[in-house]
Amino acid sequence: MSEIKWEYKIVNHHNSTSMGYSNPETEEFKEKYKDKDWKLEMRNIAMNQLGQEGWEMTGINGNNEIYLKRRLA
């Protein structure tokens, strides 16, 4: 019987830079989503990308830190 091994990650979604966007990219994103909560939209896109990479959210805290895990092959 083999043991399941996991890798863990903490992602900070405090601002656009921590989500991997440069200042010019952030300004373009704000303009595109000006009728919505652009920060929430940006966070959703980033979280969906992590999900496609196999990451599962295990928790979140009030400091915008999201805890994730992914099964190792």
Buried b / exposed e across 11-41, counting CB within 10 Å, b at 16+? bebeebeebebeeeebeebeeeeeeeebbee
| Average pLDDT value for the chain | 89
Can you give the pLDDT at residue 34?
87
What are the pLDDT digits (tens) for 40-61?
Answer: 888 888 899 999 999 999 999 8
Q: Which residues contact 38 (CB under 8 A, 6 or more apart)?
A: 29, 30, 32
